[in-house]
Structure 1
Amino acid sequence: MTDTSLLVLLPFLAALAATIHARGAAGWGLAGTVASAGLAAHLALSVHASGPASIAIGGWAAPLGITLRADGLAALMIAMTALVGLGVCVQALAAWGLRPTAVEDPRRARMRMGFWPLWLSTLAALNGLYLSGDLFNLYVTFEILGLAAVGLTALSGTRRALRAAFDYLVAGLAGSLLLLLGVALAYAAAGRVDLGVLPLLADSAAGRIAIALIVSGVGLKAALFPLHFWMPAAHSSAAPAASAILSALVVKGALYLALRLLLEGGLVADALRWGLICLGAGGMAWGSVCALRADRLKLLVAYSTVAQIGLIMLAISVAGDPLTGTAWQAAALLMLSHALAKAAMFLAVGRIAEELGHDRISGLNRSDLRPGAAEFAFAIAAISLIGLPPTAGFVGKWVLIDGLIGQGAWPVVALVLTGTVLSVAYLSRVVSRCLRGGPHIAPGARRPPWRAGDVAAIGLAFTALFMGLLSAAPLALLNGPLLS
């Protein structure tokens, strides 16, 4: 289990090196990402072979010390982060290069040097969040994650991006304050903050208030409806690589914490559960309606994230006992499929905007340009988000609906199916324009040349597509025992 601490320490050290040696930031970023991916793969294999494990940093165990814990759920989330990170790094290298050129645009140089420390800090914070064994360390990793995410949002330096980054910062600070108040109340109620204290919090009024504050902070950081006001502008204004990280990975930290709260026994109150079901359903409906009305491609993809977060929160809310139910596994699989598909989508949208010079949906089917690799990657990712076989999205929805039918929760099944129909409606707006032929395509229309960004988008899209066929691997991790 020595690789668990390295999963947190190594990206932080690489971020520091990339900051100090700015001209070689891309090299440090690539090395840190690849090394972290290797450690993530080793951790997943170790957990699958030997079961969950934990390590007390410095030999100080809970409740006084810092404990890192790795079970199947944590290992899957870390592997998901590493996989998406590799794809994003390929796109970033294609966009900004490995080394500065003799004559380099100042804006491009700023983005190249700024992206890698921010990405490595995000990677370290996510790994630390997934491995944290107590609420206070979860708060600390959320703080680091939030600050890095704000930097990624503002990376392009445009007025719109800076305004969105400010809104993101305000929302993140509000969520952090709620989270910190919840942790403080949990400590006051139980005298400790390790995750094992969560089942005890329901026994006191202070403990129940602590749970409510923590869930409120998580909802704000996850952009759960109606607390999503900051998210569409932030995700749609950032650079493509940054948008992919924000939408595919950063919001998963909050969703993971919500799922972990459920699994540890702190999210079992019926009133809270039904409240989250209503908010999840509202997110699916509102995000879908806004995506249907969006006139820009990046804004459509951003609003689709609001809808997908609603679906994932719905799966988290209806999950029961992890020893007898499978809805929590469906939530984990939906997080995995959404991360792969949404990263592919944002990378593809970046390439489409580069090819066309804009991202207006009405102008996607230009007569002088044939559909290229980016359009194809978007279509494949859309199939996974909709949940068609054999994609990972299909497996996640199948496991969810099967569990709901077993519980007799037919109204929730209807909500999931309605959300699926709505996703078909807004995604078909783009897919139909990107891939159709016909008289609007001129006989001499050119086909866009391949770029490394296309490889990243295609790779992530096909991973989401075939993950359904390879779903035995993540399910094997999730079927193992969980730490409590």
Structure 2
Amino acid sequence: MTWRFGLVESTFTPLLTSHWALAAALCLPLLFGVLAAILPPRRMWPVALACPPILVAGLYLLTDTLHAGLLRWQWEFFGVSVALRLNGLSILLLLLTQWMGAAAALYTPGLLRISEPERFARWLWPLMGVVTSALSLAWLATDLLTLYIALEMMGLAAVAMLLLSGKAAALQAGMRYLLLTLVGSLAYLLGVALIVGYWGRLDLAGLAQVMEPGPVAWMAAALMGAGLALKAALFPLHGWLSPVHASAWTPVSALHAGLVVKASLFVLLQLWSLLLPDAFWAPRLIAWMGMLAIIWGGLIAWRAESLKTLVASSTVAQLGYLMVVFPLLIGPDTSPLARALAWEGFWLQLMGHALAKAAMFMSAGNLILATGETTLKGLAGTSRRLPLSLLVFGVASVTLMGLPPSAGFTAKWLLLHAMVVSQQWLAVAALLVGTLLTAAYIFRFFRYSFMETAPRQRYQPLAPGMDMIALCLALAAFVLGLLAHFPLELLQGGSA
């Protein structure tokens, strides 16, 4: 699995322009975030001017990756070696982070202008910059120390964003999240300490060469896996997720559900591929919990009374689809065909869900802002005045339900094919039942939205562009299914 994550030597040396593009991709989000804290933008156009340099840097790195296949950077600071790599997978996740970060930033001025936020709202900008830069670093890092730094920056910034609203519920949920993410970090560090103490290596490529299966590897994998599962809100360690989103500002929820929890899952899969390459029970335990997550998250979303609880509980179920794939990616018994299909389906599902879930949170935030209602019953009849917000929710739901031709459909088709080839029939059943549950809670919301007998409400107009930004994300998840050959070719390029 090392070649799939780009943990091999590169035959190409990055150009000087590639160094500058990498620096821009990692540092500009933080720099622009600090500038926005000093001079908070009240309109969308200053943010629109700041986004292109970051996006152009990402596209330049994409062209480098297409030509070279794999690029590596390495530096040494005070005797500690730091290495980054860029392959098909990492450039896809980097581009996803940049475009979703740009969408959240463009959405934020309208939200802050309408909702009259607390005086600490200006600090949302640098915190969003920290999250974007930390995520970008996590996708590129190839050593345990850099991964830890990226995860800590991302986690602490995510907690701080939740506390900015100043509401009692936000403070309570944020402090609980802070405590749990620190517990997860402690477990991760204990695993790192075991690895360094026994093998004396921090770099993942070197660790793959010297690591031997045994109690030390199993214990380190268990500690790091538990910590990362807690950070990623994997079932049954997901209890903190819904309260966090219930009181979070909309762009915070969009970034958190779309990307932040995915970073910990990415690191978990990468580390277990090295520490447990031939494990049998550990990936199957994750898969069994994933099946329960699909059912449990779907049932909670189906019974939810609050729109944000519905969307947040849906995240638990959707992460379950990714958990179910672990035995197909890790372990000795999977055929090469099933492993290749599962690899492609896993990342396509992750990217499609990230885009659709961010769009869904933005749509839900728009509905709540416009009506002042948070419950499904309170949002009854919104189709009369907010058809575009409901359209965004519907287009995003197509991806979550896995209907053609969305990314959700293509990803689930690949996953189903891999499960059938490897005869994982329980996983097939869980995936199909989860799809039906997704349709059930989506159509339950729409049943209220199109209720003609609901009393007419007074609506607050949304700022220009708020619905359009969410629609662009939802359409991106939809179109990703039609253009799936491009990301799949990049994912396959890691084998070259």
TM-score for the superposition, normalised by structure 1: 0.90
CA distance 1:409–1:203, shift in 2 (3 Å): same
RMSD: 2.7
Q: Distance in 2 between matches of 1:94 and 1:349?
A: 15
CA distance 1:54–1:266, shift in 2 (3 Å): farther
Deviation at 1:32, TM superposition (A): 5.2
CA distance 1:224–1:198, shift in 2 (3 Å): farther
Instruction: Verify: 1:452 aligned to 2:461, yes or no.
Output: no
CA distance 1:176–1:93, shift in 2 (3 Å): same
Paired position in structure 1 for 2:6: none
Q: Distance in 2 between matches of 1:187 and 1:28?
A: 46
* Equivalent residue for 2:57, pick from 39, 43, 46: 39
Q: Distance in 2 between matches of 1:335 and 1:37?
A: 21
* Equivalent residue for 2:124, pick from 112, 115, 131: 115
- Answer yes or no: is the 8 Å Cα contact 2:70–2:494 preserved in 1: yes
Paired position in structure 2 for 1:140: 149
1:270-281 paired onto structure 2 within 5 Å? 270-281=280-291
CA distance 1:28–1:70, shift in 2 (3 Å): farther
Q: Which blocks of at least 5 consecutive residues in structure 2 are unaligned? A: 1-17
- Answer yes or no: is the 8 Å Cα contact 2:370–2:462 preserved in 1: no
Paired position in structure 2 for 1:100: none
The amino acid of 1:296's aligned partner reads: S
Deviation at 1:172, TM superposition (A): 0.5
Deviation at 1:482, TM superposition (A): 5.2
- Answer yes or no: is the 8 Å Cα contact 1:52–1:482 preserved in 2: no
1:306-317 paired onto structure 2 within 5 Å? 306-317=316-327
Paired position in structure 2 for 1:69: 85
* Equivalent residue for 1:472, pick from 481, 485, 493: 485
Deviation at 1:401, TM superposition (A): 0.7
Select between 363-372 and 165-174 the one with higher mean Cα deviation.
363-372
CA distance 1:28–1:449, shift in 2 (3 Å): closer
The amino acid of 1:241's aligned partner reads: P
Select between 407-416 and 28-37 the one with higher mean Cα deviation.
28-37
- Answer yes or no: is the 8 Å Cα contact 2:381–2:453 preserved in 1: no
Paired position in structure 2 for 1:91: 107
1:129-278 paired onto structure 2 within 5 Å? 129-196=138-205, 197-198=207-208, 200-264=210-274, 266=276, 268-278=278-288
The amino acid of 1:143's aligned partner reads: E
Cα deviations by residue, 1:393-436 (Å, 9 ceiling, x for unpaired): 111111111111111222211111111111111121113333x3
CA distance 1:456–1:200, shift in 2 (3 Å): same
Cα deviations by residue, 1:43-79 (Å, 9 ceiling, x for unpaired): 223212320111102599xx94100111111111111
CA distance 1:144–1:450, shift in 2 (3 Å): closer
Deviation at 1:362, TM superposition (A): 1.4
Q: Which blocks of at least 5 consecutive residues in structure 1 are unaligned? A: 98-103
* Equivalent residue for 1:55, pick from 73, 95, 105: 73
CA distance 1:437–1:228, shift in 2 (3 Å): closer
- Answer yes or no: is the 8 Å Cα contact 1:370–1:447 preserved in 2: no
The amino acid of 2:310's aligned partner reads: L
Instruction: Verify: 1:362 aligned to 2:377, yes or no.
Output: yes
Paired position in structure 1 for 2:420: 405
- Answer yes or no: is the 8 Å Cα contact 2:221–2:275 preserved in 1: no
Cα deviations by residue, 1:277-321 (Å, 9 ceiling, x for unpaired): 111112112111111121000011011111111111212343257
Q: Distance in 2 between matches of 1:309 and 1:90?
A: 27
Paired position in structure 1 for 2:134: 125
The amino acid of 1:86's aligned partner reads: A
- Answer yes or no: is the 8 Å Cα contact 1:315–1:400 preserved in 2: yes
Deviation at 1:127, TM superposition (A): 0.4
Deviation at 1:4, TM superposition (A): 2.6
The amino acid of 1:414's aligned partner reads: A
Q: Distance in 1 between matches of 2:154 and 2:204?
A: 20
- Answer yes or no: is the 8 Å Cα contact 1:330–1:400 preserved in 2: yes
3-state SS in 1 of match to 2:482: coil
Q: Distance in 2 between matches of 1:94 and 1:425?
A: 32
Alignment size in residue pairs? 471
CA distance 1:456–1:240, shift in 2 (3 Å): same
- Answer yes or no: is the 8 Å Cα contact 1:390–1:469 preserved in 2: yes
Paired position in structure 2 for 1:334: 349
Q: Distance in 1 between matches of 2:245 and 2:310?
A: 10
Q: Distance in 1 between matches of 2:115 and 2:428?
A: 52
Q: Distance in 1 between matches of 2:388 and 2:116?
A: 29
The amino acid of 1:292's aligned partner reads: W
Percent sequence identity over aligned pairs: 32
Q: Distance in 2 between matches of 1:59 and 1:188?
A: 21
3-state SS in 2 of match to 1:374: helix
3-state SS in 1 of match to 2:403: coil
1:21-40 paired onto structure 2 within 5 Å? 21-23=38-40, 33-40=51-58
Select between 424-433 and 179-188 the one with higher mean Cα deviation.
424-433
